[in-house]
Structure 1
Amino acid sequence: MTAGVAPAARGRSALDEPVLPVGRKWTATWSFAYLGLFLANYGAQQIVLPRQANLIAAGEETAVAAQSWANASAAVVTVIVSILVGALSDRTLHRTGRRQVWIVYGGLLAAVAFVFQGFQHTVVGVVIAWGVFTAGMSAVVVALSAALPDDVPTSQRGRVSGYLAVGTAVGPLIGVAVVTFLLTGVLDAYVGLALLLLLCVLPFGLRVRGTPLRRAERPPLALRAIATGIFTPLRSADFAWVCGQRALINLSNALAQVFLYQYLKDEVHVDPDLGTLLLMVCYTAGIVVIAVPVGRHSDRTGKRKRVVVWSSAAQGAAALILAFVPTFPAAIAGASLLGFGYGAYLSVDQAVVTQVLPHAEDRGKDLGILQLSSALPMIVAAAVGGVLVASLGGFPALFVASAATGLAAAVCVLPIRSVA
């Protein structure tokens, strides 16, 4: 058996549930791919895109508008590509498996879009390039998500999800550090991020083989069927509850973070640049410390819902600390607790969502739908949070809303029957 082949890939159908565990190479390259995606996306979105917008725009308002248009285009692209690529990858006939080709070409598209974006000097060019990058990234994310239920048995998904949590936590820190201290221009930053993206994503796409889909197993390719299939999985109560729970816990996390910079500046009265960096380190450390042990524990016990409940409670407690104790030591405690809570949640998230998929032949499409419950709350949080801070009670209202959505997420997980 070669290290690059999923052990369950030989002698079984692509639609069968995997039973043999994957090795370290599968887990490492899969997690590393996520690290590269988050490294590139966060480094660009938080630092390079604003830097580029400020160079292009005539003033601060125009720069903010340019970023808003870019992020709005990304939201639309994410919705379309996540579902479409998920459905198409379910029907892909390739000797290396259904997902690998989408990972490779999605990664290449994202990297090329970054290089193209580095040469843009107009708002329109930036918006188009950012949309193309988002299309490539969304394709990779959906394909990677579907590779988990394709190849990893249920009893191993908590541990694998734990390593994913580490990658998605460390990636943003590395990305922001690279474009802040090493690649301080626009073109060099985009090119550097593109190369790092490929370095992280391509090993899984090129060196790990999935289970090929047999032609007789291939679902019919009809756009009408794909369109109507968007709503079909929501008829499953467990799938619908997971969609709601996932959206709420991600909204809770996003609301707690979206205006931290302004919170430190206006409410805590500390240096917001240094303060945000320190809180980001504490938050990341919390995720890294907790994710893998909790994931392993959930694999041993088979109990995942209780992890979601406790992680939601931890996020809620962290948000309440920020709401009612506006001091920097309290902010450090809140950020650390938020990291512990979200890290615990991430350690079982992929395991939970893959246990409620209604049909094996639609794994990619259904995970594309579930991906929206992670991506869209990040966008909604900025709009909702802005209204809360400006008009409905300031920062305490923002963090109380974060705690409330976390509690609602815990409630949503309780009715799920197919997950213990």
Structure 2
Amino acid sequence: MSDNSHILHPTKTGNSVKDNPADNTLLVTGRKKRILLASLFSNFFVLLALYCGVISVLLPNHIAQIDPANKANNLAIVMTSALLFTIFAQPIAGALSDRCRSTWGRRSPWIVGGALIGGLAIFGISMTTTVAGIAVFWLMAAISLNCMNGPLATVVADRFLPENRGIASGFVGAGSTAGGTVGIIIAGYLAWNLQLGYLVFGLAIVTCCIAFVLINREPSTRTLEVEPFRWGTFFKSFWVSPRHYPDFGWAFFGRFAMFLGYQGVVTYQLYILQDYIGLSVKDANYAIGTISLITLVTLLFSGLVSGYLSDKFQRRKIFVFASSILMAAGLVIPLLVPTLNGMYYYAAILGLGYGAYTSIDMALMTQVLPGGGKQAGKDMGILTIATVLPQSFSPVLSAWMLSTFNNDYSTLFIAAIIFVFASSFFVLPIKSVK
């Protein structure tokens, strides 16, 4: 069997794509395509349910129980302590998965291994009663889950032709955003029993990833040739010059700005409901579930519809641009209406924008990879830094802003609006994608 990286840059004739089915052994069609789409939806659903449920609800509640007076600063410490170790986890795992030769293919060993270790580490968090202990177990979980997430995301580039990646990205985006919403809802109702909450999310990610690789079996790569490993070449490959690959650079910085703004509000959403809206701890945990449910409905609709329309018209940029503007508009609402109803309106508008953004952004990313995607695992991993870095950095920025502006949570919305609005303009200079 030959290397399948060439499937990422087929020859184009007009609006059609010519490919040799005999060579493209990873491509899926018909029933296998439908199963893979459903599997991607399920896996990203569970993964983001874990991330959002743990980050937005379980960790904030856990940390607040340990030290209520310093909860915001301690949450920032826990979230950022993993930064230096996890920022490069996905690109390194992606690069190693490109070179992986096994009976189960290139991506599957990383998907299963990362899920197993990550799931155990998530449950380990429940066993500790110190902020330091939480930070250590979260570091282990973050590294492992990032090593799983990178190869999993690369499946879109591996198995779908460019003209079909809008719908594939739509399923991934819908699964991610729906999972994040449901994860917050479930975590909100399990906040009374943190150990059970951590256990539910840890078991779910392990079960889902094992099922994924069994149902969507990769061909063996044991007989494929692999270039000799050289440390210098390996580490040099992680630098992608914005001058030589400007579209890749614009896509990276656009995603970075959007997630920096988005995560700054979402990470502190529980505290926003308590200290900005004025709810009790109990009411805030229930309200965060209602907010997430509203977001779920709007994002599922916008995510799947946007993915379908993007493929139909073969346009990516206009959808990413418009969705970013819509998200910025949603973030304005709590500033004008700082009430629980205002948060509900914010959730509905933000869901429409975020669902559309995530459904199209991945499709756009797969089409700006250097060299047509010959090192898709590594390059997709580099692009995920634009997601991971803001997730780690935004709590620090948010904690600094709250400290500087006398715990005024409105400053978080203002900063988020600026970053999300700015992100919409980074997509405009991209030339290789319409």
Classify the TM-score, shorter chain. Answer: 0.7 to 0.9
Name the CA shift for 1:62/1:222 in 2 (closer, same or farther; >3 Å): farther
In structure 1, the residue matched to 2:341 is 329
Q: How far off is 1:43 after superposition? A: 2.7
**Structure 1 counterpart SS, 2:150:** helix
| CA displacement 1:9-38 (0-9 Å, x = unmatched) | xx6632121665541111111221111212
Residues in 1 aligned to 2:44 and 2:120: alpha-carbon distance in whole angstroms: 18
1:44 to 54, 59, 68: 54
Residues in 2 aligned to 1:392 and 1:66: alpha-carbon distance in whole angstroms: 18
In structure 1, the residue matched to 2:398 is 385
**Pair 1:417 & 2:431 matched:** yes
**Pair 1:236 & 2:245 matched:** yes
Does the CA contact (< 8 Å) of 2:78 and 2:135 recur in 1?
yes
Name the CA shift for 1:270/1:398 in 2 (closer, same or farther; >3 Å): same
1:310 to 322, 326, 338: 322
In structure 2, the residue matched to 1:17 is 7
**Pair 1:375 & 2:388 matched:** yes
Residues in 1 aligned to 2:313 and 2:59: alpha-carbon distance in whole angstroms: 44
Q: How far off is 1:347 after superposition? A: 1.0
Residues in 2 aligned to 1:332 and 1:120: alpha-carbon distance in whole angstroms: 34
Residues in 2 aligned to 1:264 and 1:117: alpha-carbon distance in whole angstroms: 25
Residues in 2 aligned to 1:210 and 1:305: alpha-carbon distance in whole angstroms: 32
Q: What TM-score do you get using the length of structure 2 for normalisation?
A: 0.84
Does the CA contact (< 8 Å) of 1:183 and 1:192 recur in 2?
no
- Please tell me the residue identity of whatever aligns with 1:226: F
Residues in 2 aligned to 1:95 and 1:150: alpha-carbon distance in whole angstroms: 17
1:363 to 376, 388, 397: 376
Question: After alignment, is 137-146 or 166-175 more displaced?
Answer: 166-175
Does the CA contact (< 8 Å) of 2:76 and 2:395 recur in 1?
no
Residues in 2 aligned to 1:197 and 1:24: alpha-carbon distance in whole angstroms: 21
| CA displacement 1:353-398 (0-9 Å, x = unmatched) | 1101113332111111111101221233223334445545945543
In structure 1, the residue matched to 2:207 is 199
In structure 1, the residue matched to 2:42 is 32
Does the CA contact (< 8 Å) of 1:90 and 1:365 recur in 2?
yes
In structure 2, the residue matched to 1:154 is 162
Name the CA shift for 1:15/1:212 in 2 (closer, same or farther; >3 Å): farther
Name the CA shift for 1:380/1:148 in 2 (closer, same or farther; >3 Å): same
Residues in 2 aligned to 1:192 and 1:46: alpha-carbon distance in whole angstroms: 16
State the aligned residue count. Answer: 408
In structure 1, the residue matched to 2:228 is 220
**Structure 1 counterpart SS, 2:88:** helix
1:399 to 413, 417, 421: 413
| CA displacement 1:215-246 (0-9 Å, x = unmatched) | 66524322322222221354410110000111
Question: After alignment, is 243-252 or 276-285 more displaced?
Answer: 276-285
Gaps of 5+ in 2: 9-18, 20-26
In structure 1, the residue matched to 2:90 is 82
In structure 2, the residue matched to 1:291 is 303
| CA displacement 1:171-198 (0-9 Å, x = unmatched) | 2344344444458434433333221112
Greater fraction helix: 1
- Please tell me the residue identity of whatever aligns with 1:205: V
- Please tell me the residue identity of whatever aligns with 1:255: G
Name the CA shift for 1:197/1:261 in 2 (closer, same or farther; >3 Å): closer
Name the CA shift for 1:119/1:278 in 2 (closer, same or farther; >3 Å): closer
Residues in 1 aligned to 2:320 and 2:59: alpha-carbon distance in whole angstroms: 34
Residues in 2 aligned to 1:297 and 1:191: alpha-carbon distance in whole angstroms: 39
Residues in 2 aligned to 1:390 and 1:183: alpha-carbon distance in whole angstroms: 27
**Structure 2 counterpart SS, 1:210:** coil
2:355 to 343, 362, 384: 343
Q: How far off is 1:269 after superposition? A: 4.6
Does the CA contact (< 8 Å) of 2:6 and 2:374 recur in 1?
no
**Structure 1 counterpart SS, 2:375:** helix
In structure 2, the residue matched to 1:131 is 139
Name the CA shift for 1:117/1:322 in 2 (closer, same or farther; >3 Å): closer
In structure 1, the residue matched to 2:197 is 189
Residues in 2 aligned to 1:399 and 1:183: alpha-carbon distance in whole angstroms: 25
Name the CA shift for 1:124/1:266 in 2 (closer, same or farther; >3 Å): closer
Residues in 1 aligned to 2:276 and 2:78: alpha-carbon distance in whole angstroms: 30
Name the CA shift for 1:330/1:131 in 2 (closer, same or farther; >3 Å): closer
Q: What TM-score do you get using the length of structure 1 for normalisation?
A: 0.87
Q: How far off is 1:416 after superposition? A: 0.6
- Aligned residues with identical type, % of pairs: 25
